[in-house]
Structure 1
Amino acid sequence: MEKAKLMKLGNGMEIPSVQELAKLTLAEIPSRYVCTDENLLLPMGASVINDHETIPVIDIENLLSPEPVIGKLELDRLHSSCKEWGFFQVVNHGVDASLVDSVKSEIQGFFNLSMDEKTKYEQEDGDVEGFGQGFIASEDQTLDWADIFMMFTLPLHLRKPHLFSKLPVPLRETIESYSSEMKKLSMVLFNKMEKALQVQAAEIKGMSEVFKDGTQAMRMNYYPPCPQPNLAIGLTSHSDFGGLTILLQINEVEGLQIKREGTWILVKPLPNAFVVNVGDILEIMTNGIYHSVDHRAVVNSTNERLSIATFHDPSLESVIGPISSLITPETPALFKSGSTYGDLVEECKTRKLDGKSFLDSMRM
């Protein structure tokens, strides 16, 4: 029987490329991809509430409007979205449509490269950046039905010389421009969140700089068709680790689901929109006012799905904990303080994705 080519992970393991597996037209998926969690065995549609349950939509033009009433209404909508959902879409965001189209085209092109070309970017020893899969903690862990390519993009000194600078020139230049636009959009949202939270003025500069001078990473996701989609998962259920994640859907295939009140809801990306979600670190910093949310990616039997997630996180030197002005006698600190973001990143490199387990470990 023909075998799929292997890709080397930073922890020394070798696993098949799922994109290559899908080319073998298998009748059954390999056992390492079969989920054992009963919650993951439901058909895609069976665990979705209904078509009427949708995540909120934030209009960035309204959020930045000079008209006080319009701006205040959208700010209140942003605040309630972060408190009650932890997920929302942004429209009228100002990112040029031609750049977005280029991002989509170049990422599709990357995954269309030969396996020999893609493995030039494979993960190095002890690292999670590069082409492969992330958060593989053991040889017996269930694998996601996906190939990913992840790398740090900001600050510049964190860029790995064997990754970003070696990308095909059109992809590299496109990602450079996209990185800048995502940073601008994230800072608009962080600054407006500060205002909505009524963070005391003396702290606003410090909180802003946690993210202004923070890290940015990108993860390109490729989910090929799966012969047994009800037995596999594209991306294991988890909450994101950092501050804010901005997701761009590359093609028209749906698959992102969020968990709300114990039920999975399918996210349906709007045209010319980004999907944004709150991460664990932002939940910690807001002392639980904003909430990170379990989400996952499901697969199907006929169509590939592609996306790119851009993570906006604190600087590695930032000390993480609840913002002091959000701690009161009525709202005491819910989370521990004292660890740097860099230390927490190193800790999480050895963890497998598992719901909100990291956040739970940070609770008082």
Structure 2
Amino acid sequence: MDSITKNLESSLQVPSVQELALQRLDKVPPRYIRYSDSDDIISTVSSDPSLRVPLIDMAMLVNAATQDEELQKLHLACKDWGVFQVLNHGVSDTSLKNMQNQVQGFFDLPFEKKKQWAQRPGNLEGYGQAFVTSEEQKLDWNDMIFLKSFPIQNRKLDLWPKNPPRFRETLERYSEDMREATISIVKFITMALGLQDTQISESFREGLYDIRMNCYPPCPEPERVVGIVPHADNSGITLLFDCADFPGLQFLKDGKWVNVEPIDGAIVVNIGHIIEVMTNGIYKAPEHRAVVNKWKERLSIVTFCYPGSSADIRPAKELIGEGNPPIYKNMTSGEYFSNFFNRKLDESFIDSLRV
């Protein structure tokens, strides 16, 4: 394993942002500052209705009378945005609320208690920060706990908090619910493309599921930091449950950052690079980031969903032909992840997958 791989598969220890926020600072420490006073990074979003993240109703996708129309909406959401909010996704309000309460309970623990589940050297899992690879690197304004959930043998249960007391069983149930929702959502995404092939959605039944729980504490200078730096996901799809009642997640659309307004009971779904490859670039993984609030803490629970390790990652055969050559390589799951962890840090990951 070379040094680049080690860098990307582990993270250096850095101060807890929650602990910094408790100090009631007037100024952000220099290592978190990414923008000068004159930069307007938190651009206001136009009230133009075309700049609202699309909303998809799964109840209309399963109903034969409304399915065609809703599939067309889903196709346009994936093609034009790469992100949508989904209602009636099958995950109960109880499951969402229970998970939110456990995550809140964990981040409300004193720092010394949370540290019991801290990341270890050479590993991204646990409580800390992701992808901090040098002492000079600018830092995001968030703390997180990152855990592998499926397959079960991937779980490092010694890093699954025992406090709050019901955290583990709640996360286990939530993971199962998210897996079922993923299989359904991917099935409809393939239908929206006109594919009859159920292999893609079924490959998510044996898939990899990683869960990242984020805490974005209040920040004295929110316009000078980011909660999470702009990026696209390397997943198949990503499901995000926003625990706040104010926007903090933004997607880049036509050169503008667009707020995702939280909708009660909705889950945010975005396309990852694996689906971008499988659709031969018809659906693209969108750039997104998190911004922070001066007065309020925000929590989010993010599930990264990947097909099983036996699935090949390649453009679907039905989507390539004489006038439509493959844009991306054929890869095994192992080759895909090897590409991700061994790429040059300044290289676009998706560009490294092109033919």
**TM-score, scaled to structure 2:** 0.91
| 2: CA distance, partners of 1:268 / 1:48 | 11
1:135/1:351 contact within 8 Å kept = no
Question: 1:235 Cα shift?
Answer: 0.4
What residue number does 1:348 align with?
Answer: 340
What residue number does 1:150 align with?
Answer: 146
1:49/1:264 contact within 8 Å kept = no
| 1: CA distance, partners of 2:305 / 2:134 | 28
Residues 80, 353 of structure 1: alpha-carbon distance in 2 compared, 3 angstrom cutoff: farther
- Check if 1:191 corresponds to 2:183: no
| 2: CA distance, partners of 1:353 / 1:102 | 37
What residue number does 1:267 align with?
Answer: 260
- Check if 1:86 corresponds to 2:82: yes
1:187/1:211 contact within 8 Å kept = yes
What residue number does 2:315 align with?
Answer: 322
1:10/1:123 contact within 8 Å kept = no
Spell out, residue by residue over 1:9-52, the C-alpha distance to the aligned partner (whole angstroms, 9 max, x if none).
9746221000001111112111111115x8994252x2523363
Question: 1:281 Cα shift?
Answer: 1.0
* Partner SS, residue 89 of structure 1: strand
Question: 1:251 Cα shift?
Answer: 2.2
2:187/2:200 contact within 8 Å kept = no
Residues 62, 271 of structure 1: alpha-carbon distance in 2 compared, 3 angstrom cutoff: same
* Partner SS, residue 204 of structure 2: helix
- 2:350 alignment partner AA: L
1:135/1:350 contact within 8 Å kept = no
Question: 1:274 Cα shift?
Answer: 0.8
Question: 1:127 Cα shift?
Answer: 1.4
* Partner SS, residue 149 of structure 2: strand
- Check if 1:48 corresponds to 2:45: yes
Of the three residues 288, 305, 309, the one matched with 2:302 is 309
Q: Which segment drifts farther, 286-295 or 87-96?
A: 87-96
- 2:206 alignment partner AA: D
Question: 1:83 Cα shift?
Answer: 0.8
1:222/1:307 contact within 8 Å kept = yes
Identical residues among aligned pairs (%): 40
Aligned pairs (5 A) from 1:19-58: 19-35=18-34, 41-44=39-42, 46-50=43-47, 52=49, 53-58=51-56
**TM-score, scaled to structure 1:** 0.89
| 1: CA distance, partners of 2:92 / 2:246 | 22
Question: 1:358 Cα shift?
Answer: 1.1
Of the three residues 347, 350, 353, the one matched with 1:359 is 350
- Check if 1:217 corresponds to 2:214: no
- Check if 1:179 corresponds to 2:170: no
- 2:15 alignment partner AA: P
Residues 60, 11 of structure 1: alpha-carbon distance in 2 compared, 3 angstrom cutoff: closer
Aligned pairs (5 A) from 1:58-207: 58-65=56-63, 67=64, 69-164=65-160, 166=162, 168-199=164-195, 201=196, 204-207=197-200
Question: 1:137 Cα shift?
Answer: 2.6
Question: 1:138 Cα shift?
Answer: 2.2
1:87/1:277 contact within 8 Å kept = yes
Measured on the aligned residues, the alpha-carbon RMSD in Å equals 2.4
| 2: CA distance, partners of 1:106 / 1:352 | 37
| Structure 2: stretches of 5+ with no match in the other structure | 1-7
Spell out, residue by residue over 1:120-160, the C-alpha distance to the aligned partner (whole angstroms, 9 max, x if none).
11112221111111122322221100001111111101101
Residues 247, 293 of structure 1: alpha-carbon distance in 2 compared, 3 angstrom cutoff: same
